Structure 1
Amino acid sequence: MEIQFITHNSSKFEEVSKVANEYNLSVKWFDHEYDELQEDSLETIAHKSCLGILQVKPELKTTHFFLEDAGLFIESLNGFPGPYSAYVFKTIGNNGILNLMKNEKNRNAYFKSAIAYFNRNTIETFTGITKGSITQSVIGEGGFGFDPIFVPEDKDQTFAEMTLATKNLYSHRQKSLRILFTSLTAFVKQ
């Protein structure tokens, strides 16, 4: 079964490919930049983005594809930036988040991933969460987005300091992907 992953982010595609290989699934990169919707939930954003893609690319109606949206939810900031993470990262970046938190003792946060999977006429949503904390400074050169300021629970490195293989052991994205891929491989075996 070939599945298309719709994203303009090559780093996301690399993460997805590594996890898909573990399930012997072929994931093809469909490089398409779509409008970043602003909604209150990642699941809603992923679902509506899926519907939006189908409007501009109707040829996808006969395929299997998925897209993913993720957000960083910071406890002391009442869940901010949450579903607005992409916009917040583009506008204030990691240092902006650290400035907002400079006097905060509570550094608890979590990353959440929401995948919308389209299978001909149905859209299913899969989510994954990784709990952790926000660092005091930007640490690490790898990864992307908020990776240099997020340390997963019970770990001592930011996502940006980890190799991709290590990050894929703990990341929110790999958790939602594993749920999706487990579902797909169970269906294919039937």
Structure 2
Amino acid sequence: MRRFEGSELLIATHNLGKLEEFQAILGPLGITCRSNVDFDLPEPEETEQTFEGNARIKAVAAVTATGLPALADDSGIIIDGLDGAPGVHTADWAETPTGRDFKIAMTRAWQELEARKAPTPRTARFHATLLLRWPDGHEEVFVGEAEGQVVWPMRGATGHGYDPIFMPAGHDRTFGEMALEEKNHLSHRAKALAAMAACFGKA
């Protein structure tokens, strides 16, 4: 596994919630995280049907545009009873003519579970694939998952995406009700970063 020796890492995202999570985890390691927003980069079209494939699209676009090493995340919620959906289409479920609205996406997910009379508890998992790519084309890939269940109604105002309806296993609060620091110990992204720790000299 290649070690990351730099002090600045481009997080290939326009999602400032994700950027905040990465900065909270990598900041203590002496790494400054920047985002696509800092460089006014366009958002590449995610055309792959796997998390890894879409992460690679984002990482390659960011590295090519800036010459900086980039960490791309492709993540989503997989809800049992919805045939693996939303999965890689997690963000697509939130698309509207005026931008992404995850309240609409969460409502759709619950309504589809209700329509299918899905049994309870309605189990689900958040999945994250991290792809760290260097300007010379080398890359490392890491995966993390957080098991839990979908609950209704939405609960909590922190986090982002589907956090207000996802209650991690062994807990009685949703990600949306947890402080960022607490969520960062449990999240799929944190687990993928833990798997990647050796890249940052923290194995």
Question: TM-score with structure 1 length normalisation?
Answer: 0.87
The number of residues matched between the two structures is 183
Q: Percent identity?
A: 27
Distance 2:42 2:156 in 1: 27
Distance 1:179 1:65 in 2: 17
Q: Which residue does the alignment assign to 2:84?
A: 79
Contact (CA 8 Å) 2:63, 2:134: kept in 1 or not? no
Q: Which residue does the alignment assign to 2:118?
A: 104
Q: Which residue does the alignment assign to 1:70?
A: 75
Distance 1:22 1:152 in 2: 25
- TM-superposed CA distance for 1:82, in Å, is 0.3
Which protein has the bigger helix share?
A: 1
Q: Which residue does the alignment assign to 1:16?
A: 22
- TM-superposed CA distance for 1:175, in Å, is 1.2
Change (3 A) 1:53 1:185: closer
Q: Which residue does the alignment assign to 1:160?
A: 176
Distance 1:7 1:136 in 2: 29
Q: Which residue does the alignment assign to 1:114?
A: 129
Change (3 A) 1:36 1:140: farther
Q: Which residue does the alignment assign to 2:149?
A: 133
- TM-superposed CA distance for 1:19, in Å, is 0.5
SS of residue in 2 equivalent to 1:175: helix
Distance 2:61 2:35 in 1: 18
Contact (CA 8 Å) 2:56, 2:131: kept in 1 or not? yes
Matched, 1:50 2:59: yes
- TM-superposed CA distance for 1:36, in Å, is 4.0
Contact (CA 8 Å) 1:73, 1:109: kept in 2 or not? yes
- TM-superposed CA distance for 1:54, in Å, is 4.2
Contact (CA 8 Å) 1:34, 1:53: kept in 2 or not? no
SS of residue in 2 equivalent to 1:99: helix
- TM-superposed CA distance for 1:173, in Å, is 1.0
Structure 1 residues 138-147 or 119-128, which shifts more?
Answer: 119-128
Distance 1:73 1:133 in 2: 10
What is the root-mean-square deviation of aligned Cα atoms in Å?
2.0
Contact (CA 8 Å) 2:12, 2:59: kept in 1 or not? no
Contact (CA 8 Å) 2:63, 2:69: kept in 1 or not? no
Give CA deviations for 1:16-45 in whole Å, capped at 9, x if unaligned: 011112333332334244134142210111
1:172 equivalent among 166, 176, 188: 188
Q: Which amino acid aligns with 2:76?
A: G
SS of residue in 2 equivalent to 1:101: helix
Question: TM-score with structure 2 length normalisation?
Answer: 0.82
Stretches of structure 1 that go unaligned for 5 or more consecutive residues are none
Give CA deviations for 1:21-73 in whole Å, capped at 9, x if unaligned: 23333323342441341422101110122223345x1x42xx32111111100
Distance 2:59 2:69 in 1: 11
1:94 equivalent among 90, 93, 106: 106
